Structure 1
Amino acid sequence: MGAERDYQKLWCAQNHGKMEYRLPDSTRVDCLTKTHAVEMDFGHKWAEAIGQSLYYASCTGKRAGVVLIMNKEKDVRFLRRLNEAIIYAKLPIDVWVMDKANP
């Protein structure tokens, strides 16, 4: 797997979600499950994922979620940043990780 969409298809199917759920303003939630509005991004886009997941949650009434795709060993720094921001700001965001070894 390499493209974000590949990870998106797999994660969304495993979690019984709807891919590319379209909101009234034409933005799209990467995966909408019964409980979460999920944004999927590669590690270096961790900060963008925070904003997008919170926005999608506000539009859907679901809990915000981020699936961080980490394909390189050094990507762990992005997961640390994401988690530190969530804890510091007390953000209601759940986080999952996908990588080549654990898709």
Structure 2
Amino acid sequence: MIGTGASQAAHLYPEKHYQKLWCDDHKGVLEFRLQDGARVDCLTDEYAVEFDFATKWAESIGQALYYAGMTGKRPGVVLIMERGDDDGRYLKRLQSVADQYGIQVWTTRPEE
């Protein structure tokens, strides 16, 4: 728990803030629980969506692919870009891999 608080302090909002806004807007199920106890950040009719801050772009890929495999939905990632253009390099990295593996990518920012 100590690490969680420290990492959250570096962000404008916690990840759950972005999850709720986006998932509500896309009529998804927030924190959908899989049979193995893992939780999909947002499950829509079409996508199993993982949310991560831009610096964690690589982690989001594996989670999105796993959730998609477990749910039969398409994989998706919402990249949280709190630092605007400074996070652009992470988006480029994510998109290059996402294009290869059929992962849908969206972005969100604090003002959205």
Deviations 1:15-53 (A, max 9, x none): 000000000110000000000000000000100000000
Cross-structure match for 1:16:
27
Structure 1: runs of 5+ lacking an equivalent: none
Cα offset, 1:86, TM superposition = 2.2
TM-score of the pair, normalised by structure 1: 0.93
**Identical-pair percentage:** 52
Structure 2: runs of 5+ lacking an equivalent: 1-11
Looking at secondary structure, tell me which structure has more helix per residue: 2
The count of corresponding residues between Structure 1 and Structure 2 is: 100
Which structure's relative contact order is higher, taking Cα pairs within 8 Å and 6+ residues apart?
1
Tell me if 1:79 matches 2:55.
no
Cα offset, 1:59, TM superposition = 0.2
Runs of 4+ in 1 over 6 A off after TM superposition: none
TM-score of the pair, normalised by structure 2: 0.86
Tell me if 1:96 matches 2:70.
no
CA RMSD in angstroms comes to: 0.9
Tell me if 1:30 matches 2:46.
no
1:94 alignment partner AA? Q
Larger radius of gyration: 2
